Amino acid sequence: MSADLQISLVAVAAGVACALVGVFLVLRRMAMMADAISHSILPGIVAGYVLAHGPNLLLGFLGATASGLLTVVLVEALSKGKLRQDAAIGLVFPILFALGVLVVSKYFANVHIDTDAVLYGEIAFAPFDTVNVAGRDIGPKSFWVLAVLAIVNTGFIAVLYKELKLATFDPGLAASLGFRPALLHYLLMALVAVTTVGAFSAVGAILSVALIIVPPVVASLLTERLPRMIALSVAVGALGAVLGHRVAAWSNVSISGMIATVLGILFGGALLFAPGRGLIAQWSRRRAQKVRFATEMLLVHLATHQETAARDIECSLPHLESELGWDREVAARIVGRAERLGLLEREESLLSLTEAGLRQAYLAAER
Amino acid sequence: MNLIHDLIFDYTLRNVALGSAILGVVSGVLGCFAVLRRQGLMGDALSHAALPGVCLAYMATHSKSPVVLMIGAALAGLIGMAIILLVERRTRIDPGSALGIVLTVFFGFGVVLLTVIQKGNDANQAGLDKFLFGQAAALVSDQVTTMAIVGGAALFVVGLLYKEFKLLAFDTGFAGVLGFRPHFLGGLLTGLLVAAIVIGLNTVGVILMSAMLVAPACAARQWTNRLSAMIGISALVGALAGLSGAIISVLQERVPTGPAIVLLLGAIVAISLLFGSAEGWVWDWIRRRRNRLALPEPSR
């Protein structure tokens, strides 16, 4: 297997594993918890290092997961009290991170744990750390870790789908029906922590957070149904991973950084162009509503005055400017549009409604 | 007495202590508004968002002067902020997700730019990434002066618009009804956060910046219900933690300044949660215990 293909596989596995837990995290409005966990696992890694008297995959993993969960518990405890959730998150993770940095620089000055390298991540090294089974090289270790995580996350969602859905959208109802939303919440958080730990050693802290948050948000712009949102998230995560890696390999820049950038571009595209929810759709809808409302106003105005003595004044084009507060250009455009639609007729500057125009004016006035 | 002598005459200690104290005051004041407006994580997002700005500023000027990099950081921070506010206003995406997206995408793009710069075979670029990770011990007096000017300007604006900001923090809707422009004021107030972040980047670094904004405000909140008092206490807590963290890190070997300040802040918040206000956890516990003892034993 070529190194490029191996890196691609690692990135896709990370994208899939992260997107799966990300959907529920984003729906629960706890996206920044992923960011907090990704930073606060540092003291856990350090603790694992101390306990094992050296680098040890299992203890490091356990330590990191434990301090990820500690973050969740601390944030919950604080935000039940007098702090709000955002403040609690913003407080807890820097303190844990500071603790980790302090211990590293005080007692392990000679050990190389580069705190900023941890943040950037270096997925390009993945092919150098492979697993051997029965003497055969079966691919990068980080791919297998992430693949297992993706399977575990899929299993979790498949088995507890109904419960997760209910507890996410209506925790009160879930509790009163006898499910235990709190237990489910901690299970989900444990999976977020484990997934972050697994992804972060392969792709770096920042990219693992990007893979958890961005794909579900892109999906949420495109659909309102949970199953579709899950599928779309996974697809966006995998697409971002593959595209980002291709572009990075081609231009020889940071792979993790480029995957995050591509995810950002995908988000920007969805934000602008998403049907219904996107900014352009919103903008054109607002514009269409404006034109429709203005036309209806014109029709009702004409209908009110067209049989009266003041018709010659009220129903003249220049009068609309003062009556409806339109400037000349708007008035000309709206009148022109109504004329084209056959709603009114024009003689010089005098306007009169057609049969169809009168009918629409009554409809509009009744509404 | 030696300490006071050193604080005044030792170049390194003076700069580190002064820089950290300035940061503490500025972020203490601005943090109050951030916490009250539920923007506690804005600082974290915007400080990460500064990275591409730092890289682009360097690529444009080939200068590592802190002022140039700070301007780049501020511009990127402001763009990040504009995107977050746009997404919050125009879509149903929740604020946390908007922050997370801007944080990770901007930072990722910054990392891409860093690798582009490093490929350029430019010996001068070494240490550029350190700008973001805080190296308080390397502060020079020019930097401290810049920090004082930027921070002072931010505090001046807060003083000038105190009444408006106060209204905005507690009742945004009412501010709009009274004819203030909440979106403009909100943007301005969040923009001031960028000033605190720019000051903080090369002191405590991108990750710990979040605590510099949130912790003093949370601690102060426990002791008072008045905004003016909260701001005062928060500034004091920030300054104290900044100053003592800096002193500890200079006197103790291998204790980095940023983590020292943040851990001190953590301790102050913990004490405030335990003892601050009548609802402090300790008083609360004592009161509940006394009530329990006062109740008669349940009869059988």
Q: Which of A26, A101, A115 should one mutate to test binding to chain B, selecting the residue with the greatest count of B CBs within 10 A?
A: A101
| Chain B residues in contact with A89 (beta carbon < 8 A) | 40-41
Contact (CB, 8 A) for B24 and B147? no
Q: In this structure, what are the phi and psi dihedrals at residue A47, rounded to the nearest 5 degrees?
A: -60, -40
A-contacting residues in B 9-48 (Cβ below 8 Å): 35, 38-41, 43-44, 48
| Residue A9 Cα, gap to closest chain B Cα (Å) | 20
With an 8 Å Cβ cutoff, are A210 and B210 in contact? no
Identify which of B109, B114, B129 has the shortest CB distance to residue A261: B109
Residue ranges covered by each domain of chain B:
14-294
Q: What is the DSSP letter of A316?
A: B
Q: Does A286 touch chain B (CB under 8 A)?
A: no
A219-223, B134-138, B172-176, B262-266: least confidently modelled range: B134-138
With an 8 Å Cβ cutoff, are A82 and B100 in contact? no
A63-77, A179-193, A226-240, A347-361: least confidently modelled range: A347-361
Contact (CB, 8 A) for B40 and B93? no
pLDDT digits (tens, 9 = 90+) for B14-51: 888 899 999 999 999 999 999 999 888 999 999 999 99
Encoded tokens for A15: 């994208």
pLDDT digits (tens, 9 = 90+) for B105-124: 999 999 899 888 888 766 66
Give the C-alpha separation, A32 to B98, whole Å: 9
pLDDT at B6 over 80: no
What pLDDT score does B234 carry?
A: 96
With an 8 Å Cβ cutoff, are A31 and B96 in contact? yes
Compare all CA atoms of chain A with the CA of B281 and give the residue at the minimum distance.
A81
A66-80, A96-110, A113-127, A189-203: least confidently modelled range: A113-127
Average pLDDT over residues B173-189: 89
Average pLDDT over residues B227-252: 92
User: What percentage of chain B has pLDDT greater than the value 70?
Assistant: 94
User: What percentage of chain B has pLDDT greater than the value 90?
Assistant: 51
What pLDDT score does A32 carry?
A: 92
Q: Which sign, positive or negative, has the C-alpha torsion B203, B204, B209, B212?
A: negative
User: What percentage of chain A has pLDDT greater than the value 70?
Assistant: 92
What pLDDT score does A234 carry?
A: 96
Give the C-alpha separation, A215 to A22, whole Å: 8
Question: Is residue A292 classed as helix, strand or coil in its secondary structure?
Answer: helix
Average pLDDT over residues A54-67: 82
pLDDT at A74 over 60: yes
Burial class for B176, CB neighbours closer than 10 Å (0-12, 13-18, 19+): middle
Average pLDDT over residues A338-363: 85
Q: Does B127 touch chain A (CB under 8 A)?
A: no
Q: Is A351 left (phi over 0), alpha (psi -120 to 50) or beta?
A: beta
Alpha helix ranges (H) inside A81-204? 85-107, 115-120, 141-159, 161-169, 171-176, 181-203
Looking at residue B67, its amino acid is: V
pLDDT at B165 over 90: yes
Give the C-alpha separation, A192 to A211, whole Å: 12
Ordered DSSP codes for chain B:
-HHHHHHHH-HHHHHHHHHHHHHHHHHHHHHHHHHHTT-TTHHHHHHHHHHHHHHHHHHHH----HHHHHHHHHHHHHHHHHHHHHHHHHSS--HHHHHHHHHHHHHHHHHHHHHHHHHT--GGGTTGGGGGS--GGG--HHHHHHHHHHHHHHHHHHHHTHHHHHHHHH-HHHHHHTT--HHHHHHHHHHHHHHHHHHHHTTT-TTTHHHHHHHHHHHHHTT-S-HHHHHHHHHHHHHHHHHHHHHHHHHSTT--HHHHHHHHHHHHHHHHHHHSSTT-HHHHHHHHHHHHHHSPPPP-
pLDDT at A114 over 60: no
Give the C-alpha separation, B262 to B212, whole Å: 7
Average pLDDT over residues B198-208: 85
What pLDDT score does B50 carry?
A: 92
pLDDT at A116 over 60: no
What pLDDT score does B199 carry?
A: 87
Contact (CB, 8 A) for A76 and A235? no
pLDDT at A282 over 80: yes
Contact (CB, 8 A) for B52 and B106? yes
CA dist list (Å): B268 to A190, B38, B217, B220, B282: 29, 21, 11, 10, 15
pLDDT at A218 over 90: yes
pLDDT digits (tens, 9 = 90+) for A7-58: 889 999 999 999 999 999 999 999 999 999 988 888 888 888 888 877 777 8
CA dist list (Å): B31 to A81, B83, B153, B199: 19, 21, 16, 14
What pLDDT score does A233 carry?
A: 97
Q: Does B223 touch chain A (CB under 8 A)?
A: no
Give the C-alpha separation, A103 to B255, whole Å: 9
pLDDT band at A127 (very low <50, low <70, confident <90, very high): low
pLDDT band at A104 (very low <50, low <70, confident <90, very high): confident
pLDDT band at A210 (very low <50, low <70, confident <90, very high): very high
SS (H, E, C) B140-194: CHHHHHHHHHHHHHHHHHHHHCHHHHHHHHHCHHHHHHCCCCHHHHHHHHHHHHH
pLDDT digits (tens, 9 = 90+) for B276-296: 876 778 888 888 888 888 877
What pLDDT score does A121 carry?
A: 55
pLDDT at A259 over 80: yes
Contact (CB, 8 A) for B3 and B17? no
Looking at residue B219, its amino acid is: A
pLDDT at B300 over 80: no
Compare all CA atoms of chain A with the CA of B223 and give the residue at the minimum distance.
A82
What pLDDT score does A57 carry?
A: 73
What pLDDT score does B270 carry?
A: 93
Give the C-alpha separation, A106 to A268, whole Å: 43
| Chain B residues in contact with A264 (beta carbon < 8 A) | 101, 104-106, 108-109
Q: What is the DSSP letter of A179?
A: -
What pLDDT score does A263 carry?
A: 97
pLDDT band at A313 (very low <50, low <70, confident <90, very high): confident
Contact (CB, 8 A) for B238 and B24? yes
pLDDT at A352 over 70: yes
**Rounded to the nearest 10 degrees, what angle do helices A205-222 and A31-40 cross at?**
170
Pairing label, strands A344-347, A136-140: unpaired
ipTM for the predicted complex comes to 0.89
Contact (CB, 8 A) for A65 and A123? no
**Could you tell me how many CB contacts below 8 A there are between chain A and chain B?**
194
| Residue B101 Cα, gap to closest chain A Cα (Å) | 6
Q: Does B99 touch chain A (CB under 8 A)?
A: yes
Looking at residue B207, its amino acid is: I
Closest CA to B73 of B105, B106, B42, B98: B106
With an 8 Å Cβ cutoff, are A35 and B103 in contact? yes
Beta carbons within 10 angstroms of residue A131's beta carbon = 14
DSSP run (H or E) holding A138: strand A136-140
Domain B14-294 has CATH 3.50.50.60: no
- The average confidence (pLDDT) of chain A is 86
Give the C-alpha separation, A23 to A31, whole Å: 9
Q: Write down all domains in chain A, each with its CATH number in brackets.
A: 3-122+138-238 (1.10.3470.10), 280-366 (1.10.10.10)
Give the C-alpha separation, A232 to A218, whole Å: 8
Question: Angle at the Cα of A361 (from A360 to A365), degrees rounded to 5?
Answer: 115
In Å, how far from its chain's centre is CA A94? Answer: 23
Q: Which sign, positive or negative, has the C-alpha torsion A286, A292, A296, A302?
A: positive
What pLDDT score does A319 carry?
A: 82
Q: Does B210 touch chain A (CB under 8 A)?
A: yes
Beta carbons within 10 angstroms of residue B178's beta carbon = 11
Q: Does A261 touch chain B (CB under 8 A)?
A: yes
pLDDT digits (tens, 9 = 90+) for A186-206: 899 999 999 998 888 778 888
Contact (CB, 8 A) for A198 and A146? yes
| Residue B299 Cα, gap to closest chain A Cα (Å) | 32
| Residue B177 Cα, gap to closest chain A Cα (Å) | 24
| Residue A282 Cα, gap to closest chain B Cα (Å) | 9
The listed range with the strongest mean pLDDT (A53-62, A69-78, A296-305) is A69-78
With an 8 Å Cβ cutoff, are A32 and B266 in contact? no
Contact (CB, 8 A) for A186 and A197? no
With an 8 Å Cβ cutoff, are B211 and A95 in contact? yes
Give the C-alpha separation, B57 to A222, whole Å: 36
Residues 6+ apart with CB under 8 A from A194: A65, A68, A149, A152
Position with higher pLDDT, B6 vs A24: A24
Give the C-alpha separation, A196 to A180, whole Å: 24
Average pLDDT over residues B214-225: 93
